[in-house]
Chains A and B, each alone.
Chain A
């Protein structure tokens, strides 16, 4: 068995080494392995990257990973989740288990500090989308330059009008960009005020005409949820804006260095 790797799902506080009545990827039994007052939820695996050419198989593994992490989160209350596909290898005569213990010994203080920080907290995803078709008329109403440019475009002969139209489109694009930026800042600060920690994520492409203008991960005390919910409710009620609010997730976004 020394040549086997250990696929690791998460670490938590604990000192009970035991098999768990759970199967992980490929139906392999799960174990809670301990050292330094920490417990690592693992399964044995081939000592190589987890990959499958079959996309359904792969997607299934991802969901198994997440569900195991979720169940461990329920049981141990506070966990540090690993991303999909983390495998501890056997090296230079050390088994994967020995390498796991070495890592836990080396990192136990930092891991325990993080676990303390994450106690009673969960991660939530927040995305704000807007529909430019709804927003633009309101911008146009208040923008003398756009109104003037539209008037000029209408009054010129076709050739000139074409050029003016391009110019007008560019002006509108800039105004929308500025408005998106202003809204991002306003929403970000409102959300920031009622959460423990926040990370800005890349905006994702949406089905047109909707555009995502804000994507953040929030770390929040589970009992303090209504404050964030109320802020998001208000944003979602603004004409042309939609809010997505997902979670609670294990704190995937808040376990890297600096937490």
Chain B
């Protein structure tokens, strides 16, 4: 096995996006409790979103998804999560 070529997993490309959305939309931990709502109970939304994916595909297919999303979620373009400073002051009740 040692000298054999080995396929590497990828997170790029259109088929990968579909694979990702299958996971984000249909999987992950589900809690059945009155105090929780989740998309699992709203099937039409999930169908709708699959159609919507085409609209972001073009944006994503030439690069990393992160290049597109990170600027939105990292206010200072920080490369990774880190303890925050003074920007947040109210702990959710």
Contacts and interface: CB of A to CB of B under 8 A. Distances in A.
A1 interface: yes
B42 A49 contact: yes
Contact of A63 (B15, B69, B88): B69
B52 A75 contact: no
A64 B69 contact: yes
Contacts of B52: 55-56, 58-59
B62 interface: no
Interface residues of A, number: 85
Contacts of A85: 37-39, 42, 45
B23 A58 contact: no
B48 A55 contact: yes
Contact of A49 (B23, B24, B45, B74): B45
B19 to A, nearest CB: 4
Interface in B31-56: 31, 33-42, 45, 48-49, 51-53, 55-56
B37 A48 contact: yes
Contacts of A88: 35-36
A6 B1 CA distance: 48
B25 A255 contact: no
